[in-house]
Amino acid sequence: ALTEKLSRLVKELRGQARITEDNVAEMLREVRLALLEADVALPVVRDFIARVKGKALGAEVVGSLTPGQVLVGIIHKELAATMGAGTAGELNLAAQPPAVVLMAGLQGAGKTTSTAKLARHLIEKRKKKVLTVSGDVYRPAAIEQLKTVTAQAGAEWFPSTAQQKPLDIARAALDYARKHHFDVLLVDTAGRLAIDAVLMDEIKELHAVLNPVETLFVVDAMQGQDAINTARAFKEALPLTGIVLTKLDGDARGGAALSVRAVTGVPIKFAGVSEKLDGLEAFDAERHAGRILGMGDIVALVEQVTAGVDVAQAQKFAAKIKSGEGFTLQDFLEQIRQMKKMGGLANFIDKLPAQFSAKAGAADMDRADKEVRRKEGIICSMTPTERRKPELIKATRKRRIAAGAGVQVQEVNRLLKEFEQMQGMMKKMKGGGLMKMMKQLGG
Ligand code: GDP
Ligand code: MG
CA of 107 to the centre of ligand 2 (A): 7
Distances (CA, A) of 2 to 6, 44, 132, 361, 429: 6, 19, 44, 25, 16
Q: What confidence tier does 68 reach under pLDDT thresholds 50, 70, 90?
A: low
Per-residue pLDDT at 304: 44
For the chain, domains (ranges, CATH) are 2-84 (1.20.120.140), 99-284 (3.40.50.300), 298-442 (1.10.260.30)
Q: In the sheet where 214-220 sits, what is the strand order? A: 156-158, 130-134, 184-188, 99-104, 214-220, 242-246, 268-272, 280-282
Q: What is the 3-state secondary structure (H, E, C) of the chain?
A: CHHHHHHHHHHHCCCCCECCHHHHHHHHHHHHHHHHHCCCCHHHHHHHHHHHHHHHCCCECCCCCCHHHHHHHHHHHHHHHHHHCCCCCCCCCCCCCCEEEEEECCCCCCHHHHHHHHHHHHHHHHCCCEEEEECCCCCHHHHHHHHHHHHHHCCEEECCCCCCCHHHHHHHHHHHHHHCCCCEEEEECCCCCCCCHHHHHHHHHHHHHHCCCEEEEEEEHHHHHHHHHHHHHHHHHCCCCEEEEECCCCCCCCCHHHHHHHHHCCCEEEEECCCCCCCEEECCHHHHHHHHHCCCCHHHHHHHHHHHCCHHHHHHHHHHHHCCCCCCHHHHHHHHHHHHHCCHHHHHHHHCCHHHHCCCCHHHHHHHHHHHHHHHHHHHCCCHHHHHCHHHCCHHHHHHHHHHHCCCHHHHHHHHHHHHHHHHHHHHHCCCHHHHHHHHHHC
Closest CA to 116 of 134, 98, 100: 134
Q: Say what the pLDDT of residue 344 is.
A: 55
pLDDT (0 to 100) of residue 71: 75
Q: Is the CB of 109 under 6 A from ligand 1?
A: yes
Pocket test for ligand 1, best of 113, 192, 217 (most atoms within 8 A of CB): 113
> What is residue 6's predicted lDDT score, i.e. its pLDDT?
58
Confidence of residue 290 (pLDDT cuts 50, 70, 90): confident
> Cα of 101 to ligand 2 centre, how many Å?
15
Q: What pLDDT score does 308 carry?
A: 47
Strands 184-188 and 130-134: parallel
Q: For position 242, what pLDDT does the model report?
A: 97
| CB distance 281 to ligand 1 below 6 Å | no
**What is the rounded average pLDDT of the residues 26-52?**
83
CA of 115 to the centre of ligand 1 (A): 10
Q: Report whether 156 contacts 182 (CB < 8 A).
A: yes
Of 177, 179, 178, residue with least CA distance to 155: 177
Of 9-23, 46-60, 348-362, 413-427, which gets the smallest average pLDDT?
348-362
pLDDT at position 16 is: 56
Question: Would you state the pLDDT for residue 425?
Answer: 67
pLDDT above 80 (res 279): yes
pLDDT at 64: 55
* Residue 110 annotated as part of some ligand binding site: yes
In the prediction, which pLDDT does 317 show?
Answer: 55
- Name the residue of 246, 269, 278 to mutate for ligand 1: max ligand atoms within 8 A of Cβ: 246
For residue 163, name the pLDDT band (cuts at 50, 70, 90): very high
Beta 184-188 vs 99-104: how paired, if at all?
A: parallel
Q: What is the mean pLDDT of residues 396-410?
A: 89
With a CB cutoff of 8 Å and minimum separation 6, the contacts of 435 are 314, 317, 318, 321, 335
Strand partners, 245: 219, 271
Better-predicted residue by pLDDT, 41 or 67? 41
Mean of the per-residue pLDDT values of the chain? 80
Q: State the pLDDT at residue 437.
A: 44
Of 2-6, 9-13, 298-302, 374-378, the one with minimum mean pLDDT is 298-302
Residue 261 Cβ inside 6 Å of ligand 1? The answer reads no
| pLDDT of the residue at 33 | 80
Instruction: Provide CB contacts within 8 A for 256, sequence distance 6+.
Output: 39, 40, 219, 220, 221, 222, 223, 224, 227, 228, 245
Q: ipTM score here? A: 0.99
Nearest CA to ligand 1 atom 26: 274
Residue range 181-203, pLDDT digits in tens:
999 999 999 987 777 888 899 99
Residues 217, 235: Cα–Cα separation, whole Å: 9
Of 328 and 301, more confident: 328
Q: How far apart are CA 360 and CA 375, in angstroms?
A: 19
Query: Which residue, 271, 295, 258, is CA-closest to 85?
Result: 258
What gap in Å lies between CA 320 and CA 397, rounded to an integer?
Answer: 27
Ion ligand 2 neighbours (CB, 5 A) are 111-112, 142
Any atom of ligand 1 within 6 Å of the Cβ of 113: yes
pLDDT of 348 strictly over 60: no
CA distances from residue 280 to 114, 118, 149 in whole angstroms, order as listed: 8, 8, 14
pLDDT single digits (tens) 79-131 = 888 888 888 899 999 999 999 999 999 999 999 999 999 999 999 999 999 99
pLDDT tens-digit readout, 351-394? 554 444 444 555 666 666 677 778 888 998 888 889 888 899 99
Best CA proximity match to 358, nearest among 422, 291, 418: 291
Report the percent of the chain where pLDDT is more than 90.
Answer: 40
Looking at the CA of 144, name the nearest ligand.
2
- pLDDT score, position 303: 42
CA distance 252 to 79: 17
